[in-house]
Amino acid sequence: MSSFLFNPYTILTTLARSTATFDNALVLLSLSCSAQGRSALAISVLAIATRMALYPALLLPAILLYLPSPSPLATRAVRLAGHFAAFLAGLSMLERAVAGSWAAVFRNWSVILGIRDLTPNVGLSWCASALAPAGDLGCPS
């Protein structure tokens, strides 16, 4: 039953001390809770996943639309988005209290939000030229 734990990729991920496994587990738990209609738990777990990495926040609109509720969509979306923001702020405050400064809080997302050079790299241009027919890069003339 737990033979998947002997997968070399699982072992290497563990040895690399990556948190991607926890990020993925929290996102899946949030999606599972939203499928079961447990809105508060789904939003809270999504906030925890967002605190670890910024990208799970992109799932917030999808989860807000998917959760069943007798109240109108706009009212429910505002209430749950407020719950998400409050829980995320609470997690940030807790992290600040444990770490003793705001530096640890901002360090999490600074890698994602602090990218200064967004120019495409050589690999991207090679991929575009490899997919296009010879002499045509798909640009209208």
Which residues constitute the domain of residue 71?
3-131
Higher pLDDT, 5 or 21: 21
Query: What tokens were used for 87?
Result: 């829980």
**3-state SS class at 61:** helix
Query: What tokens were used for 93?
Result: 């405050």
Total number of domains constituting the chain: 1
Query: Does residue 94 carry a pLDDT above 90?
Result: yes
Higher pLDDT, 105 or 90: 90
Q: What's the gap between Cα 31 and its chain centre?
A: 12
What does the pLDDT look like over 12-47, one tens digit per residue? 777 777 778 788 899 999 999 998 989 899 999 999
Give domain status of residue 19, yes or no.
Answer: yes
Give me the helices (H) in 36-72, please: 39-52, 60-66
Give domain status of residue 89, yes or no.
Answer: yes
